[in-house]
Amino acid sequence: MFDNEMHVSFLGVSQNESFARMVAAAFASQLNPTIEELTDIRTAVSEAVTNAIIHGYSGMRGMVGMDCAIEGRNFTVTIRDEGRGIPNVPLAMQPFYTSVPNLERSGMGFAVMEAFMDSVTVESEVGRGTTVIMKKEIAAVGCDE
């Protein structure tokens, strides 16, 4: 059982990218993260939500789900779409790989998620959608600091 959790669901439109990262950061704030840790979470969430919108739905109307959970000092965020899915996950996660170079994507989204979070797990099924689970331990800061 988690110490705390929350679930939101929003339409997959680009206006909601900043909404999603703000909500995730606000929820993670109860662990007293540093500014840097919060930036890491905001950036990783932005990458996963942007992917759901651009690649998962690519113009189709669909909902993006975001779950956040806290267990001890561990923060977990799960971002889910019911879009087209990823045919080859290891390939998709390679730095600089993008299936849409014509859209001016750099192919660095998953690399950024992996650099900024402790772990990134991707579950995907073609035609069913994609779930990205990211975890980060928030270091405890002593009260005399």
* Smallest distance from another protein to CB 3, Å: 28
Smallest gap from Cβ 96 to ligand ATP, in A, equals 8
Task: Write out the two tokens for 80.
Answer: 């889910």
Strands 74-81 and 63-71: antiparallel
Task: Map residues 41-70 to x or -, x wherever contact with ligand ATP holds by CB under 6 A.
Answer: ------x---xx--xx--------------
123 phi and psi, to 5 degrees? -115, 130
- Residues forming contacts to another protein in the complex (CB under 8 A) are 14-15, 17-18, 21, 36, 39-40, 42-43, 46-47, 50, 53-54, 96, 103-106, 108-109, 111-112, 115
Instruction: Please give the residues from 50 up to 109 whose contact with Mg ion meets the rule CB under 5 A.
Output: 51, 109
Rg (CA), the chain: 15
Is 114 a residue of the active site? no
Of the candidates 2, 8, 4, 12, the residue with the CA atom closest to the CA atom of residue 23: 8
Question: Of 73, 74, 105, 114, which one is the catalytic site residue?
Answer: 105
Active-site residue flag, 102: no
Q: Determine contact, residues 141/32, Cβ cutoff 8 Å.
A: yes
Cβ neighbours around 140 below 10 Å, total: 10
Count of chain residues binding ligand ATP (CB under 6 A): 22
CB of 144 to another protein, least distance (A): 25
